[in-house]
Amino acid sequence: MTALETLSESSCFGGVQGFYRGASAATRGPMRFGLFRPEASLRGARVPLVVYLAGLTCNEETGAIKAGAQRLCAEHGLALLTPDTSPREPRFPGDDASWDFGLGAGFYVDATEDPWAGAYRMFTHVTAELPDWLASFSIDTARQAITGHSMGGHGALVCALRLPSRYRAVSAFAPITNPSAVPWGQKAFSRYLGQDPRAWAGYDASALLAQGPFPGTILIDQGLSDKFLERELSSEAFERAAEAVKQPLLLRKHPGYDHSYWFVSSFMPEHLRHLAQGLGVI
C-alpha cells in the first residue's frame, strides 16, 4: 500500500475535504489529489466514489474548490476524488512551453512516445493507481462514477467507455468529445501517442462510442456561449456515434453559458444526481 502524506484536512458539510500526496509509479514522481469524504465514511461506512477530472491548466484543487460538489456529495453519501491533471515531476523539455500541452495538460492518456511515455501515464494513474491509494479510507472503489470538465470531460468519457464495468455512470461538462479532429487533441495526441491518427482512437470518445454503447445514459451539458465550442468541443461526431449504436444520450445545450466554473457549478447538482442514480444511492 502506498504511504500517503496528508497535506491538509478541513471539515466540510459534515465530512472532511482533504488533500494528499503519494509516490506514483505511473507518473514516476509525487502526485497530489483531493478527496472529500462524507460523514458516513468518517464513521467507517464504505461509500461510493465519484471521480471528477479537471481541464487544461487545472490541478487537484480546481474542481474541489470551484465546482460546488461537496454539499451534494454529502447529501447523497458520496466520496469525491479530484486528481491532478498531469505529472509534475519529472520534468521534460518543453513541458511548460504552452498552456495546452505538458504540465496541466496530461489529457488522461498513457503516452507511448518518448520522452512522455516515461511519466505521462495519467489513464493508469486515474483508473488503477488512485483507487488503490484509497484503500486507507472508507471508500468502496467497486462502486465508481466519473465526470469532468473540458479536457476532463474527455477523460471521463474515455475512462467510462474503455472501462464500463468499473464506472457505473458517467457525465461531462463541455467535453472534448472528438479530440482526434480538433487542435487541442491533435497537438496532444501527436506528441503523446505518435503521428499515426489510428493510434489515437483508443482515447477518442467518439471513436470508442462507435465500437459500442455505454450501459447507461450519458449526460453532457454544453454552454452555447462557450468560446471553445466551434473550434475544440463540437459534439457532432459524438452525437452521430451515439445515434449509430443507440446510445442513450442526454446532451443539453444552454444559451448564455460559457466554459467557466460558473457554468460547471450551475449544473453540478444535476450531474451528481445523475451519477448517484447510476450508483444506486437514490
Give the distance between the most distant pair of CA atoms in the chain.
Answer: 51
Position 117 scores a pLDDT of: 98
Alpha carbon distance 248, 123 (integer Å): 25
Cell of 16: 472532511
This prediction has a pTM of: 0.98
Q: For residue 103, count other CB atoms closer than 10 A to its CB.
A: 18
| Alpha helices per DSSP H over the chain | 39-42, 62-66, 70-76, 122-124, 130-133, 151-162, 183-192, 205-210, 236-245, 261-279
| Per-residue pLDDT reduced to its tens digit, 179-224 | 999 999 999 999 999 999 999 999 999 999 999 999 999 999 999 9
Instruction: Give the span between the Cα atoms of 220 and 198, in whole angstroms.
Output: 26
Residue 96 is a catalytic residue = no
**How far is 219 from 136, CA to CA, in rounded Å?**
31
234-260 confidence digits (pLDDT tens): 899 999 999 999 999 999 999 999 999
259 is catalytic: yes
- 150, 171, 206, 235: which is the annotated catalytic residue? 150
pLDDT the model gives residue 234: 84
Domains of the chain plus CATH, in order, are: 5-279 (3.40.50.1820)
Catalytic residue (one of 149, 154, 259, 274)? 259
Q: Which of 24, 180, 226, 274 is catalytic?
A: 226
3-state helix, strand, coil in the chain (%, to 5): 40, 25, 35
Q: Which residues of the chain have pLDDT under 50?
A: none
226 in active site = yes
Phi, psi of 9 (to 5 degrees): -145, 135
Q: What is the pLDDT of residue 1?
A: 62
